[in-house]
Structure formats: C-alpha cells, structure tokens
Structure 1
Amino acid sequence: MSPQRHRLAAAVRLSLLLTALPLCAVAQEAADAASGTRTLDTVQVTGSRIKRAELETQVPVQVLTREDIDRSGFTSVAEVVQNLTASGAALNTKFNSSGNFGFPPDGGGVGAGAATVDLRHLGAKRVLVLVDGIRWVNESSASGVGSSVDLNTIPLSIIERIEVLEDGASSIYGSDAIAGVVNIITRKDVDGASVQLHYGDFGDLKGGETWGADLGWGGSSERARWFVGASYFKQKEISSLEYGPAGVPVPGTGLANGSSATPNGRFVFQDPNTGVVHNITPNTGDTDPAFDPTQTGCDRTDGFHCFTTADRFNFAPYNLLLTPSERKSVFGQVQFDFTPTFAGYVRVLYNERESANQAAPEPFFLGTDAGVYNDWAERTLVISALNPYNPMGFDLTTVGEDANLFLLGRRPVEGGPRRFEQEVKTWYASAGLNGVFDVAGKPWSWDVNVMRSESKADQTNYGSYNIRRINEALGDPAACAAISGCVPLNLFGGPGTITPDMLAWIQPVVHDRSRNTLSLVSANLTGDLFEGWAGAISFATGYEYRKYEGEYQPDALTVAGEYNGVPSGPTSGEYDVNEAYLEFYVPLMKDGWLGKSLDLSVAGRYSEYSNFGGTSTGKIGLRWQVADEFLLRGSFAEGFRAPSIGELYGTLSRFDATLVDPCNNAASTTPECVADGVPPGYEQANPQISVVTSGNIDLQPETSRSLMLGAVWSPSFADAASWSDRLDLGVTFYRHTVDGAIQALDAQTILQRCISTRDPVSCGFYERNERGQIVRFDNILGNVGTIRTDGWDFNLDWRLPEQAWGRLAFAWKTTWVTKYELVNEAGQAEPRAPGVEINNSAIPDRTSTLSANWSHGGWSAAWSARYIDGLRESCGGANGFDICDDSDGDLNHLGATTYHDVQLSWGSDAWMKDFRVTLGVNNVFGKDPPICLSCTLNGYDASTYDLPGPFWYARVGFGF
C-alpha cells in the first residue's frame, strides 16, 4: 500500500472509530434519559463543522433569511444569490444559450434552462452548493456533463435561509469550495398549512408573465417534526423583437456582424472555365436567377449582384430575450427523536423542469472556407451541374484539386427557427442519524448520513438538418432518385424555394440526453475535548465518500457526423473519492491585556481520488475580540478542485465564436498578416468562426490559496440610543489565487496575439487555407495558468429605535474588486480584468446594494438600489462603429447602472392565519441595460443586468 493510501486508511479507521463511540454512549444513556425535547445551546454555521455559540466566526458568512428572500421580490434561488454584490456572471433564464452558443470546452454543455451561482468571478464550477450541509447533484441539461449545480432544481419555497460563505473552504467541505460555499437550509419547524400564490409581469415587454403556487404543511409531535411542500412555477418567454436594441445582431454596428448565410444565399466560387472568382447573391425576389459567366463584375443583369454587408442576415429577431420555464416540485422531510439524545431524519425531493431556447433558422455553410470540421460540407460535396436548380452550368465541388466552391451560405427560413426543448428530472433522497452525548462532562454531537441524487435531462431539437442528406439532394439527380425519399434541393432561388418535400428529406428531429448522479456517505463527530486556559478546546472530525457518475449521449445522427448544426461527441465517466478531515478550535486568550478573547481554528482534509491519487488541504483562522464592540478576524486556506467528468472525458465538440479577424480587408497587406498566410484583399467570410473544444484526460486538479482579513465594529454609542438601536460596520479584504486553472483561453485574444506578436504558441491554435480563411481553430481545455483576484467587502447594518410611526432599518453592502488577472502558462495576461466586459461576462469594479426596510403593525415597506459600476469593452479593431470610441483605444463604454426596487406588504391574522398581501416592482424606473458589442445575443450582458423595463409582481399568502 502506498504511503498516501496508508494515511487515508488510518484516517478513515480513526473517523469510523470516533463515529462508533456515540452509538455506544447513546445506548448507555437511553435507559436513563427522560423524554423531552432536545435542546442545543450551540449552532453550526457554514464554514466550520464545529458547533459553538458565537455566530461571528473567523470567516464572514452572509445569511439571507426568509424575510430577506421575500423582500427581494425574486422568484428563484438563482435570482437571490446572483444579486449578491460578491456574485459574478452565471447562467440564468435570460441566457438564450442553445443554437450557436455552442459547446464550451469544459464539457458541461450549454446549460440550457439552468441557473448557477458564481462567487468572486471565479466561475460557478468553483462554488460548492450544499443543502442542509450536504452536497447537491450537478446540473444536467442534455448537452453535456455539467460541473456546477442548477439552482432551478431547488424550489425557493422550501428554504428557511441561505448561508453564503465568501471564502475558500476545501479543508472543511472538500473539492469545489475554492471561491466559497452556498448552503441552503430547508424549513423544518413549521406549524400548520400554508398557501402562497404569486403573479408577475414585465410592464414594457410582451410576454414574460410568471405565476405560481406554493403549498406547505408541517407540524410536530412529542418526538417528530415534519414538513411537506409542493411548488409550481411558470415563466413565459419574451421574444428578442420586444427589445429595440436586440433588433440587429449588435446594436450600433448595423449588419456588419450579421451572418453571410442569408435566405437568398451567398455563393463564393471559381468558374472552372474562366478562372474568375465570384462572390454573388441572388437579387431579392428573383427565385430563378440565370448565371451569366461573362458578367464578372458587380454590374450584373443576370439576377445576381455582388454580396455586400447590406445583404447579411439579421439573426437577432429570432432569439429569445427571456426563455420559458415551467418547474414542478415536491419536497418532504421528517425528523424523529428516538430519545432526547438520539434522532434520525429522512429527506426527499423531486423536481421537474420544462424549458426551451430558440435560435435563428439553422444555416448551411458549405465549401472549402466553411470551416465547420465536417467532411460532408468541406471536402466531399459536389453540387451537380445536373441538379435542376443549379444555375451555374457546371459542378460546384469541394473535392480535391478541382475544388471550386469556397463558400455557400444559405439560411433556410422555410424550415423555421431552431427550437431546443428540455425536460429535466431531478430526484434527491437522504437519510441520517444524529445524536448528542457527554464525554467527561463535555457535550459531543455526531451524525451519519447517506444520500443519492440524480439529474436526468432530455432535449428535443426542432429545426436542424442532416448534412449527409443535403449532399445527396444537391448531387446527381439520378443518384438522388435511387435513394428512397431523396428529393433534389434548391439552394439557389431565395426564400420560399425550399419546398415541404425538400424539408421532409433533410430536416430531422434531434434527441439528446444527459445524466449526472451523486452518491454520498458521511459521518461527523464534534465536541469539546477539554478546558484550556482560555476556554474549551473543541474539535470536529469526519469521513466522507462520494461517487460521481455522468454521461452525455447526443443523437445518433450527431454521433455519425451527419448533424449540420454544432457537432458534439458522447461523454461518459465516473470517479469516486474518500476523504477524512480534522478541525480544531482553540481559545488562546480570554479577558486579558490583549482584549476579550483570541481564538484559533485549524483544519485539515485528506482526499484520495480514484483517478488522481491523494491530496491534502489546510486552513487556519484567527478571531480576535478586541473589545465587546470590536472584532478582528482572518484566515488562510488552501483549496482544491478536481476536474469534472465533462472536463476530463468530454469529446470533441464545437463552439461558433463571433471573432473579428485582425487581417480583414485593408489589414491583409500588413507584414504580420502576410506572415500569417493572408493574401491581399482578404475578406473574412463569416464573423462566426468554428472553434473545436474538448475535454482533456491529462488535466490535473486546480489548487488555490485564499486569504481573508476583516473587522466588525458594533459601536456601543449606537446601542439603544435615541437615533440608533444597533449599528454594525464590517470590512473584509479577500485574495484568491488559483494555480493550474482549468479553462480554455479566449479565442479572440489568441487570434490578436498571433497577429501582433507572431507568438508561435498562439499561432498554433488555428490554421488558414490558401484563401486566408480560418478553417481550423482548436482550443482544447488545459491547466492554462494562474488566476489572481482580490478586493474588499464593506457592510453596514443600522436599525433605528421603534417609534410611533414604526421601525426603520438600513443595510448597505458593497464589493470592490481591485484585481483580477489570468496569466497563461506562457506568462501572458488574458484580457479579463476589473471594469472589463468580455464574452457575456463582466467584472464591475464596484457593485453595491443599499436597502431600507420599514415596518409598523401589519404594514411593511422596502426599497433597494442595486448599483453596477461602468464597464469598458474592446471593439476588436472594428473601427467605425458608432458605439466605439476610437480616441480612447477603440473601446465601447457601458455606463454605470442603478436599479431601484420597491415593495409594500400588509398582513393580519384577523381574517385567517398568516394572511399577507404583497405588491412590488423591481427596476421601477425601467432602466435599460447598456449596449454590449461583444455579447453573443440580444446586445447586452444577461448575466450582469436586468431585463429592460420594470417587473411588477403580486403575492398573497395565508395559513390554516
């Protein structure tokens, strides 16, 4: 046995021995224990396994109570946590993420319909999500094997509070807790039944109505407590046509970033008889153009004209501004006290989501410049001269030395938009035993848990095409006639010339599926060991076993290489991990010359992975209570994140990136572009360039270091004063460093770096053909380098004394990001930084939330302002756009944005128990998001900003 495995085995045996001790103690105490309700004078706060009375620990934990959640007006867990000032860009239902969004290199798929949480802008996969302290299964959206939790699988109605730890905690909870932990605590102490109905709508947009109902029933007996809940939520879609700036591909750019695959068709080819290269498109309305080879210029009379920017296709109106989502869930849990010191629980959940995404009609890109990594389109296509719809009079081919078809772009609007419909089913079941007992007069507690959960998704794709059948239908009509069902295809006549019979042959229905499964067993023991000179020395120890299983199975058509859309391969994998941890809490000083108290916490965890071997992480923290009103605290933690199944085993897939080629047009004659193989007069055929991505079995785990320093001041002069009942001020400095970060580099940056510096590493990512077109771009996942980020959190909570007119309270939270950099293995900095927008993701320098809450009798009111600092983004060398400022480095500036939310509520028990009516408006002044040039869809960053216009809502709740 290796030394690592020997240490793990010893740690596991110790943990199991310690876990067995309380079982013996309970058996001894049960005979003498009097019946009654358990009482505990200690609590467990996220960030530590040790239960103790102090709530202000070595690390900051933000607690969102049920009242905080209700006051927000949000209808999902994701909306609540994504609006924290420390949150970064993450998926939500404003992301219309299918279609050309492509497959990200982490193998997790596009996450269509899912919603995730990002802390400290380090990515959702570096945030650990717990429910009642136990891990939740990763998402499944039928497009890959996800590496983060879909918060839409957890209904908001079952939540008592949300605890957010904004600090590294791998030594406490294991892998993934690099950026922090979100621990969702479910409702347990409920008495009676309750009903809550809600409805909401966007005032300025057609669609987007939301409505739902939450039912709950709970109670208790002498020994048992239970809660059962059911939830229903429905959100309707909003078309991109409802938002003015989304009416063009990117606002302020006209059709420059539109697609060259148009309903009329674009044809770039060389006449084999004359050697002339044509770049033409049929005249609008001419469904039967007659190509004249003698007309070699742009002044044509044969039904064609030269293709220009004005001919590009505006795909934006086909997208969705808000995706539809329907969620149904049932939840139940029961806790039973076998004795006053020995209890057990069972917890189950089933959640079902139906969602959809939509994209413009799927384009055909055929020819040697297509660059779609598909032989059917690039190397084996022959559009026969005998095809009755081919007006050229000769074969258009991509085969061998006779290749003369460089690009055929056609948008088959006759087939309708692409529609991706997901059905996701998630079930979760856990059970456990827990208890308390005394050791030498010291309280100890223990728990043992088992859990299994699965998220399974099916996706049906309407509006895609079979590229093999397209080839057959474009070829020799005699060969087509020999194939049952084959009908010659017309790509030359403009809109309406692709008939229903043609569509029936080339347009299949595509089915994809995926699954993520998590199995877990854990045992924990915590208590006071003995009295030290400054107080009780406490500990926690435990063991956890986890097994991850995941698979993604695309449609057989896709696996066979016949899918015309974004290709992907199947993914399947599994691994397991055994872990043991130990944590100590040591009071160093109490009521001394240094202050009230000084406490030390130390934690360590050893993890043994079936596919990586062993690793260990540690954490140390200090809590210095200088005075009753002043606290200093700090921690240093090591972190660890194992590569996910998708990151390891994801097979080749494609992402269609919107890229600006620095060598386009006039720049083609610069020495750098000539050296890159670009001919004079080169024109980028399509702004969307296919980038191939893949998982990497050789990936190594990420490691991290986190530093946190902070202070909390609760001045005594603000306690019970005429102007203040209580005032709390807090400041925290954080720093995270992630080494061996697992991700892909930014494709646009790679392209620009190669052209500007001729860096051989960057230039090796892609390949051009003899016409200068990029036909291969590989961006395989790797341990690309180091991420460093730091910043400050500021908080203020001020509660005024109760007056005749009621009670007023204020809360202010601000996060200031002072540094964020990703340095790749070559020591080059990637473009992501504070104050920068890139790839649908922003890191504002400052985000802030200020809220005021008033209550009087049954009435309450709330107002909040959510501030997002201004941003800048590169225009990518695309000079001349109205929204770009050439005098300031070719940048687009996204102005600072503030959203105002208001709510009014009234409740009374006079009519029925817990009756309450709530009315509210989020974004009450209808602030529009700033225009974003680099954002993939709809011209704004859906992960950072609200939808345009106000959202009003109404809720009514009552119990019995």
Structure 2
Amino acid sequence: MRSSRAMSTAWAGGLLLFASPLALAQSIDVDDNSADLELITLPESAAPAVDDGVRLDAITVTGSRIKKTTGEAANPVLSLSAEELAATGVTSIGDVLQRLSVSGSSLNTKFNSAGNFGFPADGGGVGSGSTTVSLRNLGAKRVLVLVDGLRWVNESSASGVSAAVDLNTIPFSSVERVEILTDGASALYGSDAIAGVVNIITKSSGNGLNLNAYVGDHSTGDGMTTTLNASYGGQGRNYRYIADVSYYDQNGISSADYSQARVPKPGTGLAFGSSATPFTRSVFFNDDEADGLCPNVDSDGDGIADRALCDITANGVAAAPDFVQDFPDGFHPFTTDDRYNYAPENLLLTPSERLGLFAQGQFDISNNITAYARVLSQNRDSENRAAPEPIFLGPEAGTGGMADNVGIAADNPFNPYGIALDPSDNLLLIGRRPVEGGPRIFSQDVDTFYLAAGLNGDFYGFARPLFWDVNLVSASNKATQTVHGTYNIANIARAVGPLDDCSGDCVPLNLFGGPGTITPEMLGYIQFVEVAHSRQELALASANVTGGLLDLSAGTLSYAAGLEYRDVKGSYTPDEVVVRGESNGVPSLPTSGSYSVSEAYVELEIPVVGDLPGVRQLDVSLASRFSDYSSFGTTVNSKVGVRWDVFDGLLARATWAEGFRAPSIGELYGSPARFDAQLEDPCSQPSDPEIQANCEELGVPPTYSQANPQISVRTGGNAALEPETAESLTAGLVYSPNWAVNQPWAKRMDFEITWYDIEVDDAIQAVDAQTQLDRCVQTLDPAFCNGISRASSGGINGFDNTLLNLGQVETQGLDLAIDWLAPGSAYGQFGINWSATRVERFRAVSKATGLAEPRGVGVEVADSGIPRWRSSLRLNWDYAEISASWAVRYVSKLTEQCGDAAAFPSCGNPDAGTNTLSETFYHDVRASWRVPGDTDLTLTAGINNLLDEDPPVCVSCSLNGYDASVYDLPGQFAYLQIGLRY
C-alpha cells in the first residue's frame, strides 16, 4: 500500500478530461502483467523492512520505465479508467480519445472518403473505417500507440500502407484504462512519440461472468449502434485469466438525411455540382457553329476567331443518334442548372461491424517469476459509398491517365455530332454520369491478430529489489477492399472508338443518350469488380530491467535499461486492372517494403536534494535511446525531466525531450498514385487583371473556365526521405491545497496547469496543393509552378505532389484542469471537474520557400480545423445506487476561406471572402441505477448532444458541409445500456 500523501500527488498528476473525481481519489489500479505498466510485489523474504511493517508496491506509469512506490512523475500523464471511458456514452476507444482537449483532427468513421478521392501523398491510403488519434494537432503518425506498454500494429484498409494505428482494432470491452502522455517520449519508446504516447491497458483478470448490452441511435437518419459483450474470468493462488467476446455494429447514415449535406457545398445549390451528368456534358471545338449553340473563339490565340467552342448538354432530352451536323433542339449550352448533385449519394456516418475475441492469462511459475500471454483476434466489415462513378474523357479530364487520351469515333453509332471527337485536336471534355451502374460501394474486410507473450519477475540483489521483463510480439493487420460500381477505361475506349475495333465481346457504348440508355449489356462490358489487398506486420522482442542503483542523501538513484528489436513489413496490392492503368477510377501501383530497428535505452532518476525549506524533494530524470534503422541509419534521442516537490500539496515539473519519427513504409516506398483534390483554379475567369496576365503567361486562354472542381494530383513516396526530428518542452504545476481537504465545502480540490512547446524539423509532408497552385499563379515562381502542367485549353492536366522533408512545424499551448469533490451528505456526493486546452500557436513553414502553410490556430482548412480552445466541464452526482452526470463540451470558433463560395449566403463575410464557424457547446447527460437485490444488475441511459446542436456550416470542407474531425454528427444520440454480473 502507499502513503496518503504519495497517492494524493499521484492522482493530482493525472487530472483528465472526463475523469470522475471519486475515481481519481482512489489508488491507481495497475495490471501485474504489463510490460510497461506493472505492479509487482516482492516476496516477503526478499522485501526490505520498513518502519510500519508494510510492504511497498512498485509501479511504472507511462512516461517512465522506472518502477516507483508512487505514481509521481515529471511527465504530464492523463488517465482514463474503464468507468470514465464508459461515462462518455460512446463505445469506441478512438471516439473517446478524439474528445479529449489535447486531441486534434484525425480520421474517424464520420469520414466517407475511400478510393473515390484517391490516395494522399504519404502512401498510407485513406484508412476507410479506421479511427486514429492526433495529439497536439500534429497528426496520428506522430503519436505512439502502446497496448500494455508494447507497440501495436498499424492499420490496414487495402488502400495503402499506413503509418498510424487504428484504435478500432482494440475492443472497447477489453480495456481496463488508458494513459496518455502528452509530451515527447522518443528517448524511452523510440520513433513516433513526438506528440505523445497513448498506452491502452487491457484487463488482466475477471471475476465470474459479465454480460453487457448497449444500443444507441441518432436523431438524424438511422445510425443505430449496437454492442454486445460477454467476458469470463477468474483467479487462483498462482494464476489469473480473462476471456472477452465483443460485437459492435454501427449502421450508416445517408448524407441525404441532413440538409447541409444534400448539396456539395451548403447553401450553394448546384454551383459546385459535377459536370459529369446523366445527360452528358460535351466540350469540344467545332469548325462551324451549330444553331448558335457554339460561339466562335480564338482557339490558337492569334487574335482571329477561327473555331466554335461547344459546351453543351441535352439535359432533359434524350439526344437522337441519327442526325449529322445540325444539333437537335434538345441541346443547349451547359449551365450550373445542368450540374449533377452527387452529395445525397454519400454517407454522413459509415457502417461498421466488428467481432472480436480477447484473452489474457498469467501464471506464477514461482514467487518471483510470472509468465503471461495475451491474444486478440478481430474482424471488421466496413463500408463507404459514393455517387455513381463519373466517366471523364479528353485532356480536360485531368486524370493523368488513359482517359485523357480517349475520344469518340465518328462512326460510333451513338455519336450525335457526326464528327470525330479527337483529344489531340478538337475534344476538351466528355463528362457522363452512368447512373445505370449504381453507386460506388467500397467494402473493407479487415482481420487483426495480435499475440504477446513473455516473462516478468523480480529478485533481490545488491541489497535492492530489481524488476525485469522479456516480451515477444507477433501481430498483423490484413485487409481486402472490394469496389462495386467502377469501370474499365480500356474497355470504354474500345466501346466508343471505331466500330472496327469493337469486336468480340465489345459492346458499343452510348455516352449521349441520357439516363437509361446504357444497357445491361453495355455495363457488363465496361464494369468490373475491383479487389485490392494490404497487409501490415509487426514482430517485436524486448527486455527491460529496473531498480535502485545506489543510495544518495536525498534518496535512491534508480535506473531502467532495456533492449528492443522490431521488424516491420507492409504491402499494398491493387487490382490488376488498376495496375495496368485500365481503371476509370483512381490509378495506383503496388507498394511493399520493410525495415528493422535495433534499440537500446537507459533511464536514470536522480534525487538531488530533499527536506529543505521550499524544496521538499527535487529529482532529476535523464533518459537516452540509441536506434539503428535499416532504412536510414542511426539516431540518438535524449530527455531531461525535473520534478520539484515544493511543499506538501504543490508540485512543479518540467521536461525537455528530443524526438524523431522514422519515415514509414508508405512514405518511403509508396508507388505513384493519384489524389483527386478539391481545388479552385485561380485562372478560371479571374477578375484581377494581374492574375489574368499571369495566367496568360502560363498559357491559359482568356476564355478558360474550370470544368471540374476535382483536380488530380500525383502522389507518391520518396525513398530519399530522412527522419523527422523534434524538440519538446513542457512545464507545469500541480496544486492540491491542504486548506481544501476534508472541509465542509470540499473533500479535496486540485489545480493543474501545463505549458507545452513542440518543434518538428524536416517534417514529412507534401506541399498543400491549393497553396502551391495559388502561389504559382500569383508569383510565376518556378519553385511553385514546377510540376504543374496545363492542356492547350488551359485546364490543369498534371500536378506533382509527392512527399518531401518539407519544413518545420511549431506548436505551443496550455492545458488547464480543476477538480473538486464535495464531502458526502444526505443528498449524495457531488464532484466537478473541468479540463481545457488553449492552442497559442501552430505554424508549418516550407523550407524551400520560407512561407507558411495555411493551417493555423482558429483556422478551418482541409477538414482539420484547430480551435483555439477545447474544454469539458463535468458535474457528477452519486447517491446510494444512483449516479448521474452532466457534461458540457466546448469548441471555440474557426474561420475558413470561402473561395468560390464567397458569393453565396453561406459565406458569412463575403467582403472578406471568409466564413466563421461559430463556437459550439455540446451537452451530454447520463444516469445509472444499480438495481437492488441479489442480482448485480445495472441500468444506464443517456443522451449526447442533448440540446440538438448542429455542427457549424463549413463551405470549404470536402463532404457533408462540416468538419467531421472537430464536431459531432448533427442531432442527438440517445442510448440505453444494461450490465449483468454473475
């Protein structure tokens, strides 16, 4: 057992966003099998004697590998128990962590993007169906995720080789608690721990049979979530075990169920709809005008009108295929009203179904040695949906692939124009939305397997207790993605080409006849089912030892040391049609790679002085880690921490740390692929004469108008990448005043403040494509314009956006927390806790140009807003068998650039071209009742977003009119839960 003072400081150092004050007052519940968070009790014969005859427990807390007799540390660590996780009302670990004030924008199941947008530059794919966590707004790749102190395998969704962990691979019901270290920890844990560490501690034993059922539903659309869980565990004199089976089922919600998501950009109607319509848009040069539909233009720029530019459609009329030169009355110039609204076909929430098995056992081989093993196996079926896949042909298609060079033969029986549409001569764009083929369905089937085994123990040597552990891990994530509703562009080319080339099973294709004119036979020839695979593998071996080294005047100098070896492999295998470049969808090539790393670390905790006025105890911790990577070489990273116990109740602490992140397999070896970015071309009918002049210098005709808001950019890895490096600094105070202990108005009160400053150098990322395009047009500087090419019509038909060690990322801010627990009374016990993060600064600067990227504090850009303030206030009440809570979550305002939407009412400040996403409050309520009687039955009900707060409208966000990484889904979420123990 620990002294009351020691435990007071332990829970004070762990103030957290959703913490129950009552739980925080209790002792730290630490598993005895964890390789990094371990509670080991020395045998009576070996334990040193203490004055009161009580044995001391030794524990480790995330952020240090040295076992101590208290949870005190120089590191800022948040801790969430299983009860506190459940109190949020959600049943996914990732969804809970994304609500923390220290978290930033990250992927979750509210994002519907799959292969329909393409592949980001990092080679990691889009992670469909995954949920990740970002700390300090630095991205999921810069957060290390551990499970019981050991690394977890990265996610796999069959669209790339990701550098992040999918938290959905860890069943909610298997978690005992979560510890979050919010400073750099590469000196202790190695790569990826730049922004911090998330350590998920699993349940090590149970007591009989536990059954739990949960059902929740959204007031917007369907979105019903059901979870079922059964666990059984027990323990004896020398063993402990638990087995847990869990089921999770989340239904999808259609974008059509939310008014702001029913059009591409809220409040803009069809202005940003697709030019690929069910009635076909045709943009081509014609030598003669046709019924006045095609005005004369100067196509070669010599000042003389020489051709007619046709931009026409037959919306509402099925074009007759039997005329030659004069266009039928059904054709008219293409306008905004003709655009296709693809938005209702998307999803507001993606469906996901998971079935998992978790088991863990420990066996005491002797009084000093314990063997453990834990295994997890889970299957996930998830899905994304998008509108029917558009077919774009011609140089203005901008796909960078085969489609840019496909035209329509003059003898195609469905060509209404009587002339060949040649991409090298007169064709600019054909856009057709084949609604007959149905929507695109992206289905992911993901299998996760994780096995960890090892030994841990203790012995008494050199007059001090020593603790050791050895661990082995074998883990994999395997995914298959199946895509229905996609097309083979090579077959389309034959089906619209010369009739002589369309033989055998080829069926001539009607791209011009309107909805219903693409027959099942035509679809059978041009469609295919796309199947892609990916795999991630992790093999790990580690050994650690910790104990006391020697006694100093202020205490014992303690140490930890260890070795670790990891072997990481990853691969992505697209469908063979995609590899051949014949897919009408997003092209990509196979990726595979591996690396290994050998590491050694040492950590010291040095008691400097103690028992002096103003210095009750002053400790300094030092750590350093050597890493040898097969992919780039060696690196050494160190850390210094200071813990100053000023007087009883006041603790000051600070850390300085070096960090690094090794380039991932996707970043190093990711093959060239395509990402369809939502970009606004500044050369599309500019109003600024200077911009117009610059565009003409770039070869853009004065008549150019952007046909499609999606511009394809070329992405891919870079084998020459170097590791990211970082420096972080944290400093803070924890104050637990004695004057607030056991008073009539308070049982206790705690205050915490932590300041952080993180700087990342050689950050691995691609240049923001919109920023690069804007600066190219504004400056004509080759540093921005290189890699951007245009067709003769002015449209962008090439955009290189591959990875670089781009520059520097800096962020600073404050974490604040107050925790108050009232004494018990006839009315029960009340508690309040408040926690908040203020981001003072976030800046990313390109080394090549010295210019800042657009993302910053209070700014919404690319679905990753950074609010200046995020906070949560929770009121808890416990009375006999009843408990209840009310939480208020707050997100401060954001500002976005409206871009081309500036002229619409949804842009709040059209004069400045900006829109404000107003501050948002979410109210969550929850109540539980433990039913009296012999049966251990608990009933729980709750409503998240009680006041039905909708997310602020975002006109720059990619889908659904709001930032799904910052805000809740629109509408209320109500849930019921029942728990039964035998």
Q: Quick check: TM above 0.5?
A: yes
The aligned runs of 1:74-153 (5 Å cut-off) are 74-153=90-169
Q: Is the 8 A contact 2:224 2:250 kept in 1?
A: yes
- Cα drift, residue 100 of structure 1: 2.8
CA–CA separation in structure 2 for the residues paired with 1:151 and 1:110: 15
Q: Secondary structure at the match of 1:673?
A: helix
The aligned runs of 1:327-726 (5 Å cut-off) are 327-374=354-401, 376-379=402-405, 381-399=406-424, 403-480=425-502, 482-483=503-504, 485-667=505-687, 670-726=692-748
Letter in 2 for 1:286: A
Cα 1:560–1:668 change in 2 (3 A) is farther
Cα 1:159–1:370 change in 2 (3 A) is same
Q: Which residue of 2 aligns with 1:18?
A: none
Residue 868 of structure 2 corresponds to residue 845 of structure 1:
yes
Aligned partner of 1:304 among 331, 351, 364: 331
Q: Is the 8 A contact 1:396 1:405 kept in 2?
A: yes
- Cα drift, residue 32 of structure 1: 8.0
- Cα drift, residue 909 of structure 1: 5.7
Q: Is the 8 A contact 2:393 2:407 kept in 1?
A: no
Aligned partner of 1:792 among 789, 797, 814: 814
Aligned partner of 1:226 among 237, 241, 266: 241
CA–CA separation in structure 2 for the residues paired with 1:353 and 1:879: 41
Cα 1:196–1:477 change in 2 (3 A) is same
- Cα drift, residue 129 of structure 1: 0.4
Residue 773 of structure 2 corresponds to residue 751 of structure 1:
yes
- Cα drift, residue 933 of structure 1: 1.2
CA–CA separation in structure 2 for the residues paired with 1:561 and 1:639: 40
Aligned partner of 1:265 among 268, 274, 280: 280
Residue 876 of structure 2 corresponds to residue 856 of structure 1:
no
**Aligned residue-pair number:** 915
Q: Is the 8 A contact 1:30 1:339 kept in 2?
A: no
Q: Is the 8 A contact 1:468 1:562 kept in 2?
A: yes
- Cα drift, residue 754 of structure 1: 1.3
Q: Which residue of 1 aligns with 2:258?
A: 243
CA–CA separation in structure 1 for the residues paired with 2:731 and 2:153: 32
- Cα drift, residue 386 of structure 1: 1.1
Q: Secondary structure at the match of 1:103?
A: coil
CA–CA separation in structure 2 for the residues paired with 1:456 and 1:679: 49
CA–CA separation in structure 2 for the residues paired with 1:920 and 1:39: 43
Q: Which residue of 2 aligns with 1:13?
A: none
Q: Is the 8 A contact 1:264 1:494 kept in 2?
A: yes
Residue 958 of structure 2 corresponds to residue 958 of structure 1:
no
- Cα drift, residue 888 of structure 1: 5.5
Cα 1:888–1:161 change in 2 (3 A) is farther
Cα 1:307–1:851 change in 2 (3 A) is same
What's the C-alpha RMSD, in Å, of the aligned pairs?
A: 1.6
Q: Which residue of 2 aligns with 1:5?
A: none
Q: Secondary structure at the match of 2:486?
A: coil
1:667-723: CA deviation from partner (whole Å, max 9, x where unpaired)? 485222222222112101111100110010010000000000100111111100000
Q: Is the 8 A contact 1:662 1:877 kept in 2?
A: no
- Cα drift, residue 530 of structure 1: 1.2
Q: Which residue of 1 aligns with 2:26?
A: none
Q: Structure 1 vs Structure 2: percent identity of aligned residues? A: 51
Cα 1:887–1:321 change in 2 (3 A) is closer
- Cα drift, residue 30 of structure 1: 10
Q: Secondary structure at the match of 2:730?
A: strand
Letter in 2 for 1:550: G
Q: Secondary structure at the match of 1:424?
A: strand
Letter in 2 for 1:539: Y
Q: Which residue of 1 aligns with 2:891?
A: 868
1:858-909: CA deviation from partner (whole Å, max 9, x where unpaired)? 1000110110100000122543121224565210110001110000100146
Q: Which residue of 1 aligns with 2:309?
A: 277
Q: Which stretch shows the higher mean deviation, 432-441 or 158-167?
A: 432-441
Aligned partner of 2:842 among 790, 801, 820: 820
Cα 1:705–1:170 change in 2 (3 A) is same
Q: Which residue of 1 aligns with 2:859?
A: 836
Residue 181 of structure 2 corresponds to residue 165 of structure 1:
yes
* TM-score (norm: length of structure 2): 0.92
Q: Secondary structure at the match of 2:454?
A: strand
CA–CA separation in structure 2 for the residues paired with 1:238 and 1:117: 23
- Cα drift, residue 479 of structure 1: 2.1
CA–CA separation in structure 1 for the residues paired with 2:192 and 2:285: 54
Q: Is the 8 A contact 2:321 2:413 kept in 1?
A: no
- Cα drift, residue 601 of structure 1: 0.3
Q: Which stretch shows the higher mean deviation, 241-250 or 434-443?
A: 434-443
* TM-score (norm: length of structure 1): 0.94
- Cα drift, residue 745 of structure 1: 1.4
Q: Is the 8 A contact 1:895 1:930 kept in 2?
A: yes
- Cα drift, residue 621 of structure 1: 0.4
Question: Structure 2: which 5+ residue stretches go unaligned?
Answer: 1-41, 48-53, 290-306
Aligned partner of 2:799 among 777, 786, 798: 777
- Cα drift, residue 941 of structure 1: 0.7
Q: Which residue of 1 aligns with 2:227?
A: 212
Q: Is the 8 A contact 1:62 1:165 kept in 2?
A: yes
Letter in 2 for 1:65: S
Q: Is the 8 A contact 2:741 2:747 kept in 1?
A: yes
CA–CA separation in structure 2 for the residues paired with 1:408 and 1:359: 21
CA–CA separation in structure 1 for the residues paired with 2:910 and 2:432: 38
CA–CA separation in structure 2 for the residues paired with 1:831 and 1:377: 33
Letter in 2 for 1:531: D
1:170-223: CA deviation from partner (whole Å, max 9, x where unpaired)? 0010000000000000112421110001111112x2210111211111111110
Cα 1:273–1:308 change in 2 (3 A) is closer
CA–CA separation in structure 1 for the residues paired with 2:733 and 2:351: 44
Cα 1:327–1:243 change in 2 (3 A) is same
Aligned partner of 2:67 among 51, 64, 82: 51
CA–CA separation in structure 2 for the residues paired with 1:389 and 1:332: 62
- Cα drift, residue 807 of structure 1: 0.6
Q: Secondary structure at the match of 2:397?
A: coil
Q: Which residue of 2 aligns with 1:181?
A: 197
CA–CA separation in structure 2 for the residues paired with 1:50 and 1:62: 18
Q: Is the 8 A contact 2:56 2:69 kept in 1?
A: no
Q: Secondary structure at the match of 1:770?
A: coil
- Cα drift, residue 370 of structure 1: 1.2
Cα 1:358–1:666 change in 2 (3 A) is same
CA–CA separation in structure 2 for the residues paired with 1:292 and 1:637: 74
Q: Secondary structure at the match of 1:277?
A: strand
Question: Structure 1: which 5+ residue stretches go unaligned?
Answer: 1-28, 296-300
CA–CA separation in structure 1 for the residues paired with 2:568 and 2:539: 7
Q: Which residue of 2 aligns with 1:196?
A: 212
CA–CA separation in structure 2 for the residues paired with 1:233 and 1:285: 48
- Cα drift, residue 277 of structure 1: 1.7
Runs of 4+ residues deviating >4 angstroms: 29-34, 289-295, 885-888
CA–CA separation in structure 1 for the residues paired with 2:917 and 2:117: 23
Q: Is the 8 A contact 1:649 1:696 kept in 2?
A: yes
- Cα drift, residue 101 of structure 1: 2.4
Q: Is the 8 A contact 1:668 1:679 kept in 2?
A: no
